[in-house]
Amino acid sequence: MRGKGGAGVSGEERIWVLADPRAGTAAQALGIAERLDRPFRTIHLEWGLLARLPLPWPGLAGLTRTSREGLWRAALEGPWSRVPPGTIPRIVPEWPSLVIGAGRRSAPVSRWLRRKGARTVHCMRPGAGAGDFDLLVIGRHDRAAPAPNILTVLGATHRISPAVLEAARVSRPDLAALPRPRVAVLLGGAVRGEGMDPAEATAIIDRVLPGAGSVLATTSRRTGVAAGRAVAARLSGVPGLLHRWGGEGPNPYAAFLALADAVVVTGDSVSMLSEALTTAAPVFIAGTPPDAPRHRALRDSLIAAGQAVPLESFPESPPRAPLDESGRVAAIVRDRFLGG
């Protein structure tokens, strides 16, 4: 896959995005690349058994054989380097000049590409070798020790941009016609375990209904079938739309965010919380997993910054400005590594 309408990257701005198989992790890197206004190539990674280990050295050992071969093919698709006239041309790998990755598993790959001459931008804690990255983008809730190459963000970077929201807004006049206030309810699920408790899911809906003209609700992969069914039953006859994960038709998630007058997000999802902050709507956090200290720290950081309030405050919330951390990081990357 290539960015920017399928154009490749050439010259000094050969940009690769290392896409982890987990969508939320990959979105952190892609969200930065998509805001650079430069072509880029997406390298889809597949993990082998060794990726489960905290590999301390740069290398490709965590990748499957197919993924390693794909990495080399991407490097060999660039221009051929030729020796002096009259001799046989030789193929020389053209490695990226900038690599954007996310997650511990892709960190050794980024470090290996840095040895090939790439500048490296990495989201989330990389594990070993933090000094091998030109820029580490780390959530404020992870409380990383200050360092020259660390840039802290509120929440995480992602792919929901102002342009994405505007396109989604105009694409769904049916949702725009729903009674206001339109309340988006974004349901995640247990960080580890078997879905959300149906009683917890319906309790969130019950808290929202008295203050909602209509409800735009969506479940996620972690919500589970039982909770999804319970929410569907509770919202029966209520104006709005329920989109269940894996359901048919286009995903209205971005339109939900774009058209919501308020957004309720379960505290187990770093991605959905961060994406909700891109809107100007008040954001309410519904619960936090008791066994997830990182998520509790995220909740506390958003509340301290005035970007969210607990669901118990619904529908009252102080005004807030939209937060565009992906755009801010992309501007810094352009200035530092792409000549502005």
Q: What are phi and psi of 93, to 5 degrees?
A: -60, 140
Distance from C-alpha of 323 to C-alpha of 161, rounded to nearest angstrom: 10
Would you tell me how many other CB atoms lie within 10 Å of the CB of residue 301? Answer: 19
Question: Which SS3 state, helix, strand or coil, does residue 84 take?
Answer: coil
Would you tell me how many other CB atoms lie within 10 Å of the CB of residue 64? Answer: 16
Predicted confidence at residue 84, as pLDDT, reads 55
- Give the residue from 25, 42, 23 showing the smallest Cα distance to 33: 42
Q: What is the pLDDT along the chain (340 residues), one digit of tens a residue?
A: 334 433 334 445 699 999 999 999 999 999 999 999 999 999 999 999 999 999 999 999 999 999 999 999 999 876 544 445 555 555 678 999 999 999 999 999 999 999 999 999 999 999 999 999 999 999 999 999 999 999 999 999 999 999 999 999 999 999 999 999 999 999 988 766 678 999 999 999 999 999 999 999 999 988 999 999 999 999 999 999 999 988 778 899 999 999 999 999 999 999 999 999 999 999 999 987 767 888 899 999 999 999 999 999 999 998 899 999 999 999 999 999 998 7
Q: How much of the chain is helix, strand and coil, in % rounded to 5?
A: 35, 15, 45
pTM of model > 0.85: yes
Q: Is the peptide bond before 239 cis (omega within 30 degrees of 0)?
A: no
Contact 218, 260 (CB under 8 A): no
Predicted confidence at residue 194, as pLDDT, reads 73
Concatenate the DSSP letters of all residues of 179-222 into one string.
PSSEEEEE----SSSSS--HHHHHHHHHHHGGG-SEEEEE--TT
Contact 301, 221 (CB under 8 A): no
* Structural domains of the chain in order of their starting residue, each with its CATH number: 15-158+328-337 (3.40.50), 162-313 (3.40.50.2000)
Distance from C-alpha of 12 to C-alpha of 269, rounded to nearest angstrom: 37
Question: Which SS3 state, helix, strand or coil, does residue 56 take?
Answer: coil
